[in-house]
Amino acid sequence: MAKKQKQQQSSGGTPATVALTAAGVPYEIHSYDHDPSHPSYGEEAAEAMGVSPDRVFKTLVADVDGTLTVAVVPVAGQLDLKALASALGGKRATMADPTLAERTTGYVRGGISPLGQRKKLRTVLDDSASAHPTICVSAGRRGLEVELSPEDLTKLTEAVLAPIGRA
């Protein structure tokens, strides 16, 4: 079962929660006990929090024409690499090397957040996020999610909204 708590502290937490607090953005933290044997980090988060998988978004790092890019899509679907490249005016997108993604963002796989990254990357948020008052994304470690409005996530990450997810 996920535990909810309002987080309003400016120190401590993950780089993602520190960035949210510094920006004065309202958010809610959801924590749960991560099961390393679960086949999907995102689906595990949705199940543990009792939230519809279309409101829980996974953060994926891709390479678009040689530039690392963050794609944020619902855990219920998959990333459409062609749509991601198109959203950024690129020609080709592939998934980034996991080790490079971890080193560049400062987060571990399964805990990569679109917020508070070591190196700020271009971000594309699936436009389905706009259908919800709030969505959940990784707060920077496995077993920790942050719930916030898609508008706040878009502003903080300077994301492009585009249809990059598919069922």
Q: Where are the alpha helices (DSSP H) in 24-110?
A: 41-49, 81-87, 98-105
Helix, strand counts (H, E) of the chain: 5, 11
Mean pLDDT for the stretch of residues 8-14 = 56
pLDDT, one tens digit per residue, over 97-142 is: 999 999 999 999 989 999 999 999 999 999 999 999 999 999 999 8
pTM: 0.89
Mean pLDDT for the stretch of residues 45-73 = 95
Lowest mean pLDDT among 9-18, 67-76, 87-96: 9-18
